[in-house]
Amino acid sequence: SACSSRFVLSQMHPMWQEPLEVPGGERQSPIDISIRKSVFDPNLKPLVTRYDPRTCQQIWNNGYSFLVEYDDRTDKSTLHGGPLEDQFRLCQFHFHWGENNNWGSEHTVDRHLYPAELHLVHWNSDKYSLFEEAVMEDNGLAVIGVFMKVGKRHEGLQKLVDALPAVRHKDSVVEFTKFDPSCLLPQNTNEYWTYAGSLTTPPLTEAVTWIIMKQPIEVSHDQLAVFRSLLFTSAEEEVQKSMVNNFRVQQSLKDRTVRSSFN
């Protein structure tokens, strides 16, 4: 699918150096979400996700995370509502995690770190015709962030976990079909925070309307351990590096307000 835009991601390497200045740099992600500083907005609508598992295509290890990629050539898997004015098309989801269960998420809530964070990536198909176009526009992307905490095994995630050994190395791809990503959403999707932000890896473009779920999902310790068995490095490289700590450091809120859909 277009949304992986291989040229961009392939230039990344695990410990990419943070660029000192990002063009604009007024709305960078991730951030710490301060509950008491967020502002309740009663006009925020419920989120509406309509995902068709038949659009699920493959899993790709891009050397920074692993992406589950969807066919985004038609409006079959979509997101609208919440803070969004337009309809957005699902193109991929991926995760960020740590080397242990003490850290790994990109966003934090009152400085609380989760062991991992899921990103469901959508682009504005009302205004643009390709992910590559949308990624350069300030209303181009909508990413749903879901925190993951260690607890009971997540049955829906297990199908994905079982496929990961096939994409252990950077640039490996495996067919992966009929997966409904709504099974990875918490049961309550009406409580979320939303703010204007950016991609958290190069190109770091300030194109993302963030929708961060208040309720985390539970996954087991063993399921997270399989994430950590992935490698940043390709099969040819002599020194293999575990794919862990693939998260960006927190960015300044600057002149932004985080809104909440709940009081």
Q: Give the residues lining the site for Zn ion (CB under 5 A).
A: 119
Tell me which of 31, 113, 118, 143 binds ligand 7R7, using CB under 6 A.
Answer: 143
119 touches ligand 7R7 (CB under 6 A): yes
Q: Which residues contact 157 (CB under 8 A, 6 or more apart)?
A: 183, 184, 219, 223
Site for ligand 7R7 in 58-77 (CB under 6 A): 65
* 105 part of the interface to ligand 7R7, by CB under 6 A: no
The listed partner (Zn ion, ligand 7R7, none) that binds 31, CB under 5 to 8 Å by sort, is none
Instruction: Tell me how far, at minimum, the Cβ of 131 lies from ligand 7R7, in Å.
Output: 7
Identify which of residues 56 and 207 has a Cβ nearer to ligand 7R7 in the complex: 207
Sign, CA torsion 49/54/55/57:
positive
Q: For ligand 7R7, which is the closer residue by CB, 27 or 94? A: 94
Own/partner contacts of 150-154, CB < 8 Å, gap of 24 or more, are: 150/101, 150/115, 150/218, 150/219, 150/220, 150/221, 150/224, 151/218, 151/219, 151/220, 152/218, 152/220, 153/219, 153/220, 153/222, 153/223, 154/184, 154/217, 154/218, 154/219, 154/220, 154/223
- Comparing CB distances to ligand 7R7, the nearer of 189 and 200 is 200
User: In this complex, which beta carbon is closest to Zn ion, that of residue 54 or of residue 228?
Assistant: 228
What residues make contact with ligand 7R7 under the rule CB under 6 A?
Answer: 5, 8-9, 65, 94, 119, 121, 135, 143, 199-201
